[in-house]
């Protein structure tokens, strides 16, 4: 984007970095770093610690992160089943992994929760419709609906690992993997300014439905090479007080 409008907050979005050569990714200037999950291949402690170190080194004043289906140790419920399937030699300490991320400089880890950036509400959730047998899987239909109903109506920026149906979700197989229930909740109730996701690497890019701008910020391509540039947008924070000029 061009120069930032005066008073605006610039969000810089990345996703699906999968532990790949982050030092080679050119990070533009901005205020808030958003990462939409899949920061590792399988959530091993050494991957989490490398990612936390990279986050700490980033100059943004806020760094907002969610997990994705690859970040196995962040889904305590499924990890008891996934750790052996994905080759972990033992069950690593999930809370230690989460702590490493949460304690990185300036980082906020969102898990079906929100935070405020100068009055701009950012909500984050790692869930997605079933995708293999990885972490944070939900059956389509009611389980997805219930999860998306938790998104607060006042959310200005919604970050989920998986895309909404029809936006940043076209797979190389020509199937659309996005969630219909997420799309419905975003379009009929939440109407955020931005929806940020990753997960479908080959669907990197920006789309709109005329109300919400949908950003698939997948940094890695289908071959897990970190070739896609970070995507940026600017949001004006709400005005404070009752004065007008
Ligand atoms: Mn991914
Ligand atoms: Mn994913």
Helix H segments across 36-108?
45-57, 76-85, 94-102
Q: In degrees rounded to 5, what are phi and psi of residue 146?
A: -60, -40
Gap between the Cα atoms of 239 and 232, Å rounded: 22
pLDDT tens readout for residues 11-62: 999 999 999 988 888 999 999 999 999 999 999 999 999 999 999 999 999 9
Q: Measure 245 CA to ligand 2 centroid, in angstroms.
A: 46
pLDDT tens readout for residues 136-193: 999 999 999 999 999 999 999 999 999 999 999 999 999 999 999 999 999 999 999 9
Q: How many residues does the chain have?
A: 245
Q: Residue 17 CA: which ligand is closest?
A: 1
Q: Residue 41 CA: which ligand is closest?
A: 1
Residue 62 has a CB neighbour count (10 Å cut-off) of 19
Asked if residues 227 and 190 have their Cβ atoms less than 8 Å apart, the reply is no
pTM, 2 dp: 0.96
Instruction: For residue 121, list its beta bridge partners.
Output: 116
Q: Measure 19 CA to ligand 1 centroid, in angstroms.
A: 11
Q: Measure 39 CA to ligand 2 centroid, in angstroms.
A: 9
Helix (H, G, I), strand (E, B) or coil at 182: helix
Q: Measure 237 CA to ligand 1 centroid, in angstroms.
A: 31
Q: Measure 137 CA to ligand 2 centroid, in angstroms.
A: 10
Q: Measure 240 CA to ligand 1 centroid, in angstroms.
A: 39
Q: Measure 236 CA to ligand 1 centroid, in angstroms.
A: 30
């Amino acid at each position: 984007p061009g120069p930032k409008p005066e008073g605006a907050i610039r969000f810089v979005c990345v996703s699906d970095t999968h532990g790949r050569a982050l030092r080679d990714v050119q990070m533009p200037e901005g205020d808030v770093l958003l990462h939409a999950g899949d920061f590792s291949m399988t959530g091993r402690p050494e991957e989490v610690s490398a990612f936390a170190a990279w986050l700490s080194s980033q100059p943004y004043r806020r760094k907002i992160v969610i997990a994705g289906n690859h970040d196995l140790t962040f889904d305590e419920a499924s990890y008891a089943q996934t750790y052996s399937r994905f080759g972990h030699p033992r069950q690593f300490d999930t809370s230690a992994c989460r702590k490493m991320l949460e304690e990185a400089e300036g980082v906020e880890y969102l898990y079906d929760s929100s935070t405020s950036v100068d009055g701009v509400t950012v909500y984050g959730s790692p869930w997605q419709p079933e995708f293999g047998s990885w972490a944070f899987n939900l059956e389509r239909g009611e389980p997805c609906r219930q999860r998306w109903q938790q998104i607060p109506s006042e959310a200005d920026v919604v970050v989920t690992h998986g895309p909404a149906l029809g936006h940043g979700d076209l797979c190389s197989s020509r199937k659309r993997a996005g969630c219909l229930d997420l799309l419905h909740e975003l379009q009929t109730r939440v109407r955020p300014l931005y929806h940020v996701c990753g997960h479908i690497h080959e669907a990197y890019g920006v789309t709109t439905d005329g109300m919400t701008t949908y950003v698939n910020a997948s940094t890695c391509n289908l071959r897990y090479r970190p070739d896609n540039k970070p995507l940026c947008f600017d949001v004006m924070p709400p005005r404070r007080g009752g004065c007008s000029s």
